[in-house]
Amino acid sequence: MTLHLADYLIIIIYFIFVIAVGFIIKNRIKSSNDFLNSNRSIPLWITSLAFISANLGAQEVLGMAASGAKYGIMTVHFYWVGAVFAMIFLGVFMMPFYYGSKARSVPEYLSLRFDEKTRGLNALTFAAMTIFSSGISLYALAKLLEVILHWNFDVCIWVAAGVVMIYTFMGGLTSAVYNEVLQFFLIVIGLSPLVIVSLHDAGGWSSIRTNLQPELTHAWKYMGNAESNPMGINFISMFFGLGFVMSFGYWCTDFLVIQRAMIAKNMSAAQRTPILAAIPKMFMPLIVVLPGVVAITLMQPALQSKGYSIPLDAKGALDYTMTLPSLIAHYYPSGLLGVGITALIASFMSGMAGNVTAFNSVFTYDIYQSYFVKNKSDKHYLYVGKMITLIGILLSIMTAYIAQGYDNINDFLQLVFSFVNGPLFATFLLGMFWKRTTGHGAFWGLMAGTLAATITHGLTIAEGKGGWISPMFEIKSGMGQAFVVATFSWLTNFTSTILISLVTKPKSDIELKGLVYSLTEKVNASEQKWYLKAGPIGIILLIITIILNILLF
């Protein structure tokens, strides 16, 4: 793949704009609250698009195209079973507690609801995970540009990190959020022509259905038996493992995305942020999953004259991660190629900036201010927040270089993340909806859930991974194994939190007011028009999602 002047111009324009946004926002930053929390002043359309864009990092864009090629149309379950339902649940039921408690972060909510040790555990694991995610995103970007454009790895690392550093250091969270919106439009508009031309070249949807094996073109039809679909899981694992545990665990507890809703202007906007974000999310498979399905179709015997193939990895197997870049290289001419490459760069930078700004807030508020230096002036915490931005970027660069030296570090870290994130939703669910849940129950339940995840992984093996205690159970795909691990960790956390809570002392009702469903005054939104309420919009979106599932049954 070779870039020309027009392509470089587009990349340069993008870099100038994202940096300029940082400089424009800089004048608005007067306090730590402005820098770390955007002073809860961001309009709804921006928080909604930033909410979805914070998740639209490289793992999403490249990973979902790769899954589309590997598992076929079943990949839409990540959206139509997973994300959309969880986002609606977050908006309708959970945002009132996150936003209404006036907590500045998710760990701070845990401190209000439970105790300091639960907050500390969540803050430390979250801070570590965001830095690792940011570093791996940076590594993956540099590696991709090195492979497809033969750019220097070190230059890619330092330039990309430098640009993110400038705009997050200047404008903090607001700057990151504004750029996420720009990145969202760039990714969607930049990749849309690829979907159109590649789908047209493959002969349209009817040709895909004709040329691919049926299990790759149906979302539900082959889910009755784990052996008959490419993901190797049945519908129960899909509903519970992905649809409930993993998706709710991510969308309803991960501060990286929830932070975007917490900076909305008021409660109504905060509730509608994830719900409105669910609308573009619902149609995102068209941009990120469909190209993968098209790519694998183009490799079928009847379409080999098109001359497209997914590149092979060092072992001679299909390198699914390269699905999207290889489609861009195949279909985009100079000019649009620059747009496609910039869209990929934007997805990596969006992921990195999102992680760094979330790390900032959690480290400053939940670690530094809570455990080390309390009661200092706001100017002091603003200064610390800015310094933490620099440190976060430097740690990300360090992680990127560590990742370069270890082939499997990404897999290993993703595994650790799943161990930590898998059980987390049980803690929040019980904490928000069962007032008897105690701090000890939450803390030890989380520990037990993480331990259960580790043991389950040690006893199951999939695609050569896991089974390090004893490979007692074989699962067809790594994805299926992730669902099973998440399910066991969630169930363990759920039951152990209940059991421990029943034998330990709960907080009083007065302390829990506004933090638990049964002790929180319900908002009377009767004066609002129906289309401004979270509930009715959520129901409409649920109906549309169900219809989409039926259409691709």
The residues that touch other proteins, with contacts defined as CB under 8 A, are 6, 9-10, 13-14, 17, 20-21, 24, 43, 46, 178, 181-182, 185-186, 189, 193, 197, 331-336, 338-339
Least gap, CB of 548 to other proteins (angstroms): 25
Q: Report the residue number, 107 or 190, with the smaller CB distance to other proteins.
A: 190
Which residues 6+ apart lie within 8 Å of 165 measured at CB? 389, 390, 393
Least gap, CB of 178 to other proteins (angstroms): 5
Least gap, CB of 105 to other proteins (angstroms): 24
Nearest to 117 by CA among 340, 371, 323: 371
Nearest to 490 by CA among 237, 278, 117, 225: 237
Q: Report the residue number, 335 or 506, with the smaller CB distance to other proteins.
A: 335
| CA neighbours closer than 13 Å in the CB half-sphere of residue 370 | 23
- Residue 232's alpha-carbon distances to 110, 223, 238, 520, in angstroms, are 36, 9, 10, 43
Q: Report the residue number, 81 or 295, with the smaller CB distance to other proteins.
A: 295
User: What is the distance between the alpha carbons of residues 296 and 290, in angstroms, rounded to a whole number?
Assistant: 10
Least gap, CB of 9 to other proteins (angstroms): 5
DSSP alpha helix (H) spans, 284-408: 285-288, 290-298, 323-331, 336-361, 378-405
How far is Cα of residue 477 from the mean position of the Cα atoms in its chain?
21
What would the two tokens of residue 35 be?
């820098």
Least gap, CB of 171 to other proteins (angstroms): 11
Label residue 411 left, alpha or beta by phi (over 0 means left) and psi (-120 to 50 means alpha).
alpha
Least gap, CB of 190 to other proteins (angstroms): 9
Nearest to 180 by CA among 197, 192, 168, 195: 168
Least gap, CB of 16 to other proteins (angstroms): 9
User: What is the distance between the alpha carbons of residues 233 and 216, in angstroms, rounded to a whole number?
Assistant: 14
User: What is the distance between the alpha carbons of residues 76 and 232, in angstroms, rounded to a whole number?
Assistant: 15
User: What is the identity of the amino acid at 137?
Assistant: S
Least gap, CB of 193 to other proteins (angstroms): 5
What would the two tokens of residue 410 be?
């990404």
Least gap, CB of 185 to other proteins (angstroms): 6
User: What is the distance between the alpha carbons of residues 415 and 482, in angstroms, rounded to a whole number?
Assistant: 8
- Regarding beta strands 465-466 and 473-474, do their DSSP bridges make them parallel or antiparallel, or are they unpaired? unpaired
Q: Report the residue number, 244 or 331, with the smaller CB distance to other proteins.
A: 331
Q: Report the residue number, 111 or 179, with the smaller CB distance to other proteins.
A: 179
Which residues 6+ apart lie within 8 Å of 198 measured at CB? 291, 294, 295, 298, 327, 330, 331
Which residues 6+ apart lie within 8 Å of 315 measured at CB? none
Least gap, CB of 333 to other proteins (angstroms): 4
Nearest to 320 by CA among 74, 139, 70: 70
